[in-house]
Amino acid sequence: MKSNLSGANYIAGSPSTLASDYFFGHNATTGEPMETRFAEATSDEIHAAVFAASQAPTLSPAQRADLLDAIADELEAIGEDLTELAGLETALPAGRLNGERGRTTGQLRLFASSLRDGLAQEEIVDGALPDRQPAPRPEIRRRLIPVGPVAVFGASNFPLAFSVAGGDTASALAAGCPVVVKAHPLHPGTSELAAQAIYRAMERTGTDPRWFSLLHGSVQVGTHLVNHPVVRAVAFTGSHRAGRALFDLANRRPQPIPVFAEMGSINPLFLLPGALAERGDALATGYVESLLMGVGQFCTNPGVVIGIDSPEFTAFQAAVAERLDSAPIGTMLSAGIAANYNQTVDRLNGAVTRLTNREEAQAPRLFATTAKAFAEHDELREECFGPAAIAVTAADVDELLAVVAALDGQLTGSIHLAESDAAITGGLATELGRKVGRLVFNGFPTGVEVGHAMQHGGPYPATTDSRFTSVGTQAIYRFLRPIAIQNAPSELDLPF
Amino acid sequence: MKSNLSGANYIAGSPSTLASDYFFGHNATTGEPMETRFAEATSDEIHAAVFAASQAPTLSPAQRADLLDAIADELEAIGEDLTELAGLETALPAGRLNGERGRTTGQLRLFASSLRDGLAQEEIVDGALPDRQPAPRPEIRRRLIPVGPVAVFGASNFPLAFSVAGGDTASALAAGCPVVVKAHPLHPGTSELAAQAIYRAMERTGTDPRWFSLLHGSVQVGTHLVNHPVVRAVAFTGSHRAGRALFDLANRRPQPIPVFAEMGSINPLFLLPGALAERGDALATGYVESLLMGVGQFCTNPGVVIGIDSPEFTAFQAAVAERLDSAPIGTMLSAGIAANYNQTVDRLNGAVTRLTNREEAQAPRLFATTAKAFAEHDELREECFGPAAIAVTAADVDELLAVVAALDGQLTGSIHLAESDAAITGGLATELGRKVGRLVFNGFPTGVEVGHAMQHGGPYPATTDSRFTSVGTQAIYRFLRPIAIQNAPSELDLPF
């Protein structure tokens, strides 16, 4: 690898070396520590990063667009080094990581082009009515302005697309908010390479480096960052436990701030009788592919598949189990994540029927249960992060709807149907729609599109704020707030 | 008065009489209890109201528009009884209450016409790309759907416009969310009349009465309501203490829900040297009128006026003090609110210079302090609910900007300027804009316009969520969340 890693925190462009605590990244496949020693950010460094962000000069939408394009260019310019290092740190395969880099640069460039097209710059104007009785109406112009410095938490499972230069950073910068990233400790080297790319892009575009800082560390660093009075919003993708902890912290501040935590879900997938009869085997193939994608470490992994009791649904389950038993066993993102997965499937082993045969650590699993048991036992409705799923058999349509009623909020819900399922579809889709951020028909939820219409979010506990998305151009609205400007002198030029 | 008051809670259209605790409204002018005995809602009644709301059938935007128009008609049909009773309960004068009813019916009708024009029904569509490589893109349609039952807390200071049939209820119904109102105990009779009007409108439009319930009670009823698992959002206008308590409650729920609390602010008003030289006396007149409006009991009451040390600013303060000393003394909304006001001004008496002479309870007050003291002493930057203000003298422009830096989030900030103030205006407006939801030039902040561009909100502690407004058509977005619908069969008709 040609790239140089310093292991330092980067504060407004400069490496900072106040640390007394250090940690190492690990080779996710071998478990061995890697070469570079990374510095845990101190409280002084956290303060310096946030304070610098609060002092960053305003950027126009055009300047932000140029910066985002330049970051995309610089991420590409790193070449193979970036995906090789990410591969070592995460055990994700090269094809997946190249795709993820494409997604990352694609979303940076989508924000850039959308800003040039006027994204989030629309104004609402109530014109002056000087002759209105009993009192004249002044002109009021409503526009959106940046909320201020944003703290972004890198996610373990997307070392590029939901990390240092990922969607949260892209949307915050697009909104005009300076960013302080807390790198995920499972890929600190990849994080540093991305941060270096951001600074090169800033240098090339003449952007003040106070617009970005990178901090390494663990829970204490994150806590300190969320509690810093100058931070104005938090973006996070990860576990429910960590997301809720950040949400609670932020709400207990003297001045509470919004936390946009995307915390995953079980993404129920409904197979209607007509669809199973028409294409049960193809559904099994598609389902297994979706379930195994990224070793099941996707927020939209379809962890629950539901059908009505029938020979076709039984055959579907058998086909899925057989394919899972012969699939290659992937390497998970870290030993800790693998251990969690193994514990969860062991617990499910005791609670429900297992349809797969393999018992090796990290092997895919399919379990089976009834709609009644699924509705009654909370632990069956909790996310299992990894390639395991539960097949839920409903006795009839009423039980299918009872499964929906038992669901918590979800990122996605999917329905596979055929024309003959028309009598069931409307009612099911309506009830399922009330629980999810994205409703998928005849498709699998993994492979989230980055576009204008995407909603990657959903009612709690899928996220802490169902009114916003963390993927796609609408993600910019997380970091903007309206201001009404009344009767402004025409010559006044406000920078926001 | 011809109208009949039962004193009951109304659950989905029917009076409910499970109560064992009762209270009386009071004549705000005499302090005497009024005739009707009101029932405190029991926990069973709270549950019944919320559960009914969760079962209310969907209404189309056109049906919601008809309902909102009908509510406006029925509020008008009550005639003088409504404003007479509100006048007894709040001591607000008839002219003000007639104006407030006009505002209330106006905003109901504005939501109705805006719904007919497509408000919040816009879709974002990413069309299908069946030939895209390496994978086709499915069609994704993003639309907004109602979040579910909304708890609305009536405000003491607007018995019509921010109460039972006020802006929060109007915007929640417009969004398609059933509403449960917790009436403010300072105007329970006015609340019942408004609820009766809503039910008459529902009957007339064939609306299921589960769309609305009215509960009476105190803190326990509000707490129970916010903690009910089926409630999906909370709207509140009132004090910081109560708003923050509801916000904390809602965030501690197993499933947290958003609280839109508008908690008032001190609404700083800056008088630049050119404006003072050009029209100091007119500014004093306008300022006094704004400060005394509604006996100072407005969220946008301009409680702090800031100028640069000069004979003109000294003369302005003297003119304001003189007019306040000869103004009629208004009656406040309740004995408790008056007592709070008197305590606050007594505390300020000890801390800063008083410019007005009168010492009677509820009399208007003007105090004076320096920019330095204002920035240093937190208690000078806290809202005084009532007709009292602090004049802050800055030595120079730098001190003026230091006052802005010391401010918390505000609903409004105002700047009065003349052409000769151009050198100061841009910098001041930029810094002040970062602290406020509405930036007013050459105007006074009271008299909030109900329109499309209004932002009645602002950074904490003015509100708990600066990204939303509680006045104007944009208030509807508080109660909607996006859903992405992927690859839906063309014949599928979803009710949201």
Q: Do A481 and B459 touch (CB under 8 A)?
A: yes
Average pLDDT of chain B? 97
pLDDT tens column, A316-352: 999 999 999 999 999 999 999 999 999 999 999 989 9
Do residues B209 and B199 lie in contact, with contact meaning Cβ atoms separated by under 8 Å?
yes
pLDDT tier at A67, thresholds 50, 70, 90:
very high
Residue A20's φ and ψ, nearest 5 degrees, are -120, -10
Looking at residue B2, its pLDDT comes to 62
pLDDT tier at B19, thresholds 50, 70, 90:
confident
Q: Do B426 and A494 touch (CB under 8 A)?
A: yes
Name every chain A residue with its beta carbon within 8 A of the beta carbon of B482: 437, 455, 457, 467, 469, 474
pLDDT tens column, B32-50: 999 999 999 999 999 999 9
Among A455, A456, A474, A491, the residue to mutate for chain B (most B Cβ within 10 A): A455
B1: pLDDT strictly greater than 80: no
Looking at residue A277, its pLDDT comes to 98
Cβ of A229 under 8 Å from any chain B Cβ?
no
Residue A150's φ and ψ, nearest 5 degrees, are -115, 135
Searching chain B, which residue's CA lies closest to the CA of residue A458?
B483
What's the ipTM?
Answer: 0.96
For A484, the closest of B135, B437, B489 (CB atoms) is B437
Cβ of B488 under 8 Å from any chain A Cβ?
yes
Among A103, A248, A466, A469, the residue to mutate for chain B (most B Cβ within 10 A): A466
- Give the CA count within 13 Å in the CB-facing half-sphere of B116: 11
pTM of the shown model: 0.97
Label residues B141-152 b or e (16+ Cβ within 10 Å = b): bbbbbbbbbbbb
Choosing from B192, B299, B383, B384, the catalytic residue is: B299
pLDDT tier at A1, thresholds 50, 70, 90:
low
Mean pLDDT over residues A307-321, rounded? 98
pLDDT tens column, A403-417: 999 999 999 999 999
A415 Cβ contact list (under 8 Å, min separation 6) = A269, A270, A272, A425, A428, A429, A432, A439, A440, A441, A442
B3: pLDDT strictly greater than 80: no
Cβ of A335 under 8 Å from any chain B Cβ?
no
Cβ of B443 under 8 Å from any chain A Cβ?
yes
Q: Dump strand ranges (E) for A17-88.
A: 22-26, 33-39
The percent of residues above 70 in pLDDT, for chain B, comes to 100
For A483, the closest of B138, B449, B455 (CB atoms) is B455
Among A124, A241, A248, A431, the residue to mutate for chain B (most B Cβ within 10 A): A124
Binding-face residues of A in 246-265 toward B, CB within 8 A:
247-248, 251, 255-256, 258
Looking at residue A54, its pLDDT comes to 97
Long-range contacts of A223-227 (CB under 8 A, 24+ apart): A223/A249, A224/A43, A224/A46, A225/A46, A225/A50, A225/A151, A225/A180, A225/A182, A226/A151, A226/A250, A226/A253, A226/A257, A226/A259, A227/A253
The residue with tokens 């850039």 is A112
Q: Is B31 exposed, middle or buried (0-12, 13-18, 19+ CB in 10 A)?
A: exposed
Looking at residue A440, its pLDDT comes to 98
Q: What is the DSSP string of A369-403?
A: EEHHHHHH-GGGGS---SSEEEEEEESSHHHHHHH
- Give the CA count within 13 Å in the CB-facing half-sphere of A286: 18
pLDDT tens column, A226-282: 999 999 999 999 999 999 999 999 999 999 999 999 999 999 999 999 999 999 999
B493: pLDDT strictly greater than 90: no
How far does the CA of residue A420 sit from the closest CA of chain B (Å)? 13
Looking at residue A354, its pLDDT comes to 97
Name every chain A residue with its beta carbon within 8 A of the beta carbon of B124: 452-453, 474
pLDDT tens column, A136-180: 999 999 999 999 999 999 999 999 999 999 999 999 999 999 999
Name every chain B residue with its beta carbon within 8 A of the beta carbon of A251: 247-248, 251
pLDDT tier at A19, thresholds 50, 70, 90:
confident
Name every chain B residue with its beta carbon within 8 A of the beta carbon of A447: 135
Average pLDDT of chain A? 97
pLDDT tens column, B279-297: 999 999 999 999 999 999 9
Q: Do A433 and B491 touch (CB under 8 A)?
A: no
A2: pLDDT strictly greater than 80: no
Cβ pairs bridging A and B (under 8 Å): 200
Mean pLDDT over residues A348-369, rounded? 95
